[in-house]
Structure 1
Amino acid sequence: MTAAAKLPAECESKDDVRAEIDRIDQALLTLLAERHRYVTRMAEIKTDPHEAYDPQRIEAIISRVRTRSGDLELDEDQAELLWRTLIDWNVNYEKGIIAARRRAR
């Protein structure tokens, strides 16, 4: 049985804070793994490696992330950097899958 999550103000020691960060990191990894499965499926659906990079879609996502970050009192620049890194990785991943599938034909 795991202990209930503590609010930041309820953490009384570095160990308390670290335990909460570890809990959140596990949740983030779980969500990233789920997201990755959808990215993989998108790569299976797309037929041309150039489809992986859609600047209009990317900028719409970044705009949404910045707005939502501000609403959550998260630094918008940091959130944008994280998402641009994630998107860049996904674009390259998709391109690789699509290109490999096309070479295998």
Structure 2
Amino acid sequence: MTKAPEACETKEDVRAEIDRIDQALLRLFAERHTYVTRMAHIKTDPHEAYDKARIDAIISKQRKRAEELELDEDQAELLWRTLIDWNVNYEKGIIVARKRMG
């Protein structure tokens, strides 16, 4: 059962809720990863994996969303840039491997 932050009375209560959220985040990252993988199979050139205009738009959108949620925009940007960098490298690897195999 989910507890609101103010209903958590012990460190264990808080940790249990953080663990629950972390598990949900991991499921969402896994789902997101399936789409990143699909995108890598759709793209035909490794250079397509890095799209500066698209990345800038994503970062801008996430910064705005973070602000609306009263989260630190710089931390949100750092998180998204890390995720995007990982995805770009992952996509490039798949595309390059596919091109080598012909």
TM-score, normalised via structure 1 length: 0.96
Shift of 1:6: 1.0
How many pairs align? 102
CA displacement 1:24-74 (0-9 Å, x = unmatched): 000000000000000000000000000000000000000000000000011
Q: Please, which of 77, 98, 101 is the counterpart of residue 98 of structure 2?
A: 101
Give ranges in structure 2 of 5+ residues lacking alignment. Answer: none
Is 1:35 the counterpart of 2:47? The answer is no
Aligned partner of 1:71: which letter? E
Partner of 1:82: 79
Q: What root-mean-square deviation, in Å, do the aligned CA atoms of Structure 1 and Structure 2 show? A: 0.4
Partner of 1:26: 23
Q: Please, which of 64, 68, 78 is the counterpart of residue 67 of structure 1?
A: 64
Q: Write the distance in 1 (CA, Å) between the matches of 2:77 and 2:96.
A: 28
Shift of 1:7: 1.1
Give ranges in structure 1 of 5+ residues lacking alignment. Answer: none
Identity %: 76
Partner of 1:48: 45
TM-score, normalised via structure 2 length: 0.99
Q: Write the distance in 2 (CA, Å) between the matches of 1:100 and 1:89.
A: 17
Shift of 1:10: 0.9
